[in-house]
Amino acid sequence: MSAFDTIVMVDWSGGNDTGPTPRKDAIWLGVSRGGVSDAPVYLRNRSEAEAWIATLIDAELAQGHRVMVGFDFPFGYPAGFAEALTGSTDPFAVWEWFEARVEDAPKANNRFDLAGEINLGLGDGLGPFWANGLPNRDVTGLPRTKADYTNPFAEKRAAEVQAKGSFTCWQLAGAGAVGSQVVMGLPVLSRLRARFAGRVAVWPFEKPDAPVAFVEVWPSLTVGPAPDEMIKDAWQVQELARQVSALAPAELAQVLDVQAPEEGWILGMGVEHLLKAPPPLRNDCFALPPGVHWTPVDDALEQLRARLHPVLPAEEVRLGDALGRIAAADVLAQRANPPLPNTAVDGYGFAGGRAAGAHALPLAEGRAAAGDAPGRLPAGYAIRVLTGAALPAGVDTVVLQEDVTIVGDTLRFNGPVKQGANTRKAGEDVTAGAVTLAAGRRITAADIALLAATGTASVLVHKQLRVGVLSTGDEIVEAGQTAAEGQIFDANRPMLLGLLAQFGHRGVDLGHVGDDREALRARLDAAQGEVDAILTSGGASAGDEDHVSALLSEAGALDLWRIAVKPGRPLALGMWQGTPVFGLPGNPVAAMVCTLIFARPALARLAGQDWPVPQGFDVPADFSKRKKPGRREYLRARMRDGRVQVFASEGSGRISGLSWAEGLIELPDAAADVQPGDLVRYIPYGSFGVT
């Protein structure tokens, strides 16, 4: 977890006291420890907030804790302002300058007057500050609008230039303005820094290795929309605190590795993906509504889809390493494809179309070939062009070389030739800035071709899902070992590891545990931190030796989903110390079917992929089958001569049927009487991503 024990994020306000009732545009604080956040704290004014923060820091230091406090306003101004204002480039000189001059009471302050004084001293009353927010009083030296406004400094710091959508620190009033927050916030920071002198470091001006670190943040950089029931500011500080506290020490070190000695920097800028790690799953995410006993397949899938979310952070990988990975963000074309107008054929290019009849054009010297920089063709001339060549300026039409004759230096051909013939427009395939790869897509070789063609060299992808596979039961022995009477070889574990590899996940072999509850507990404990999800086979029902179900129940995180499906039915879903566990049936046929139907899409969702729905096809049956209503049934099947066959036996112990089959027949929940020639739904194994 984070190198700091406690993370505090503060949404600041430059305005007056906001009253006793929590509201937006006020001061909100979020506190998180170990990735778990407290409820947001509402504070009505800066005096109350300063006292609250100081008390919290005192309490944390008394317990030997390290604490990071983030404030959502700039810690510095654009380069040159500090020296112009104070005679020093030290940003803390600006803090102390404001601390000595800002007058701040809950219902009134002097920020606009002070800004006007600064403008008169530095910018002839026309800047750098602007936007007087006092409705009934003009302030000498402070423009209300940007009319006649001049700024002797940069409009934005380097951080704001990079942070698209951020506001300049010079604007003091108006929607989204942060200028007043800086003026009214820096004095508070200066006093807190003095109060905890020797125990606080201000990043990035100082190395953040003290017990307390102050950092500048911008929640909108990494925090998405707030839930409907929450105030945006409250949600953002709560979620940002969680994001930072969930960082591993090495990740936090990467976030803090910044050089910005005068202007300051926004925490996470440039490495946003490190902060966007998804929240952990809840222990009750698999809980079924009260009174639910048998769950139809479609309902089970919909509930899994609604309750699961990606659990993996993102990382950037080279395009050559992206095959099979899952895009964590939309990828935009860096340039158009094709980047320039070009010719689709070998021939001769010129300007404009030609009517019916004979035509002659003088030939310009040289030619245009693929890879050449486009030149310019003199008006009235034609030029030799080769397939793929960028069209020279003055060329918009190409005539095929087979349709022309060359007489000396003259091109001759017969019309009509339509303007634009045999050419490709710039961006007719993909325009610059268009989405070439959507977040949630598993990247294919064809995707890599498109990304490369549009200038993408690296892709932000989710880290690969690590899925542990564990077999249980005294009756199980490893293939190759000696099996006693009554024992069977473990077919599930190698099968499941193979399926996971084809799904694109990294299977982790957790081995085999007999019917020993404490040994199973120890194996699950040992897997923590090594896997992101666990598949078990066997022990998932409610019998005396069903230890997977018993342990998950004991942990208070078990839901035994009795799904109306054949083969299968009991599916134990639960959490073990924050890791989702899918307890599959012990029968290999049922284990494979439940993996394909339920575990595959659930794991894909955990891995960051869009929820995959297998493509089925209505094909004629080559069999007879009568089924009762109440359960969905899956039959091992394969296509031959345009019809679908089913395995000779439906026995769930007939493992040979899995190998014989090339897909599954899905029979509906309702009663069915299938006769040869009737259309049935066939799902090839390939539709599940396996072979």
pLDDT in tens, 183-237: 999 999 999 999 999 999 999 999 999 999 999 999 999 998 888 889 999 999 9
Residue 575 Cα distances to 248, 281, 556, angstroms: 22, 9, 9
Instruction: Give residue 14's pLDDT band: very low, low, confident or very high (50, 70, 90).
Output: very high
- The greatest distance separating any two alpha carbons of the chain, rounded to the nearest whole angstrom, comes to 97
Instruction: Give residue 609's pLDDT band: very low, low, confident or very high (50, 70, 90).
Output: very high
Q: Given this model, what pLDDT does residue 1 score?
A: 45
Would the pLDDT of 551 be above 80?
Answer: no
Would the pLDDT of 3 be above 90?
Answer: no
Q: Given this model, what pLDDT does residue 555 score?
A: 62
User: Could you tell me which residues come within 8 angstroms of residue 343 by beta carbon, excluding any fewer than 6 positions away?
Assistant: 349, 368, 385, 386, 387, 388, 389, 391, 398, 422, 423, 424
Q: 296 burial class (0-12, 13-18, 19+ CB within 10 angstroms)?
A: middle
Residue 235 backbone zone (phi > 0: left; psi -120 to 50: alpha; other: beta): alpha
Q: Given this model, what pLDDT does residue 399 score?
A: 97
Q: Given this model, what pLDDT does residue 556 score?
A: 56
Residue 656 backbone zone (phi > 0: left; psi -120 to 50: alpha; other: beta): alpha
Secondary structure string (H, E, C) spanning 394-443: CCCEEEEHHHEEEECCEEEEEEEECCCCCEECCCCCECCCCEEECCCCEC
Secondary structure string (H, E, C) spanning 184-245: HHHHHHHHHHHHCCCCEEECCCCCCCCCEEEEECCHHHCCCCCCCCCCHHHHHHHHHHHHHH
Would the pLDDT of 400 be above 70?
Answer: yes
- Comparing 288 with 632, the larger pLDDT belongs to 632
Q: Given this model, what pLDDT does residue 292 score?
A: 65
Instruction: Give residue 557's pLDDT band: very low, low, confident or very high (50, 70, 90).
Output: low
CA angle 157, 160, 164 (to 5 degrees): 155
For residue 263, the number of C-alpha atoms closer than 13 Å in the C-beta half-sphere is 19
Q: Given this model, what pLDDT does residue 517 score?
A: 83
User: Could you tell me which residues come within 8 angstroms of residue 466 by beta carbon, excluding any fewer than 6 positions away?
Assistant: 505, 506, 508, 530, 531, 532, 533
Residue 255, token pair as written in the block: 């976030």
Q: Given this model, what pLDDT does residue 543 score?
A: 47
Residue 508, token pair as written in the block: 């982790």
pLDDT in tens, 326-373: 999 899 999 999 999 999 999 999 999 999 999 999 999 999 998 888
Q: Given this model, what pLDDT does residue 34 score?
A: 81
Secondary structure string (H, E, C) spanning 307-368: HCCCCCCEEEEEHHHCCCCEECCCEECCCCECCCCEECCCEEEECCCEEEEEEEEEEEEEEE
Q: Given this model, what pLDDT does residue 544 score?
A: 46
Average pLDDT for 558-586: 84
Would the pLDDT of 594 be above 90?
Answer: yes
User: Could you tell me which residues come within 8 angstroms of residue 488 by beta carbon, excluding any fewer than 6 positions away?
Assistant: 475, 476, 477
pLDDT in tens, 45-74: 999 999 999 999 999 999 999 999 999 999
Beta bridge partners of 202: 214
> What is the chain's mean pLDDT, rounded?
92
Buried b (16+ CB within 10 A) or exposed e, 139-150: bebbbeeeeebe
Would the pLDDT of 438 be above 70?
Answer: yes
pLDDT in tens, 126-175: 899 999 999 999 999 999 988 888 999 999 999 999 988 889 999 999 88
Of the candidates 341, 345, 409, 416, the residue with the CA atom closest to the CA atom of residue 381: 409
Element (H, E) at 133: none
User: How large a percentage of the chain has pLDDT more than 90?
Assistant: 75
Q: Given this model, what pLDDT does residue 241 score?
A: 95
How far apart CA 522 and CA 542 sit, in angstroms, is 21
Average pLDDT for 268-291: 82
Beta bridge partners of 673: 626
User: Could you tell me which residues come within 8 angstroms of residue 254 by beta carbon, excluding any fewer than 6 positions away?
Assistant: 271, 274
Cis peptide before 128 (omega within 30 of 0): yes
How far apart CA 513 and CA 282 sit, in angstroms, is 27
pLDDT in tens, 82-99: 999 999 999 999 999 999
Secondary structure string (H, E, C) spanning 511-522: EEECCCHHHHHH
Would the pLDDT of 685 be above 80?
Answer: yes
